[in-house]
Amino acid sequence: MTFEAPSNIAAEREYLLDPAHEEHEEIIRYLQVHPDPASVPCLKNAIALKPALAYLDYDDYGAYYKKCLWALQAIGTAEAIAVIRECASANDEALRTQALYRLERIAQKAEAERTPQATHR
């Protein structure tokens, strides 16, 4: 199966890395809904960009990071999961906490998919 990205996804990725607007979270959501493996480097850079986004200074609990990690999980490639793992050892506590939680959820989902469901009689 071949992934076919929307025609404007490259423009969205480029715009995501521009700090001169306040639409980053909307673009991250767009990338989550359209999980293209080519978005992984962009999402990694978007995570690194967050401290430069003054309008997100209020985000002490990592909502922005959470959205980036959700998008990476939606992409689901080894490269995307590796970025989440990198984030799990970040110095930023909010990022580290969100990444560790996301890895836990990924592991739980994988375990649920491996474990046969009990049948009800």
Give the tens place of pLDDT for each residue, 62-79.
999 999 999 999 999 999
> Exposure pattern of 92-104 as b/e (b: 16+ CB <10 Å)?
eebbbbbbbebbe
Q: 19: Cβ–Cβ under 8 A, 6 or more apart, which residues? A: 49, 52, 53
Q: Is the confidence at residue 85, as pLDDT, over 90?
A: yes
Q: How far apart are CA 46 and CA 41, in angstroms?
A: 9
Q: How far apart are CA 82 and CA 95, in angstroms?
A: 14
Domain spans, the chain: 9-114
Mean pLDDT of 71-96: 97
Q: Is the confidence at residue 87, as pLDDT, over 50?
A: yes
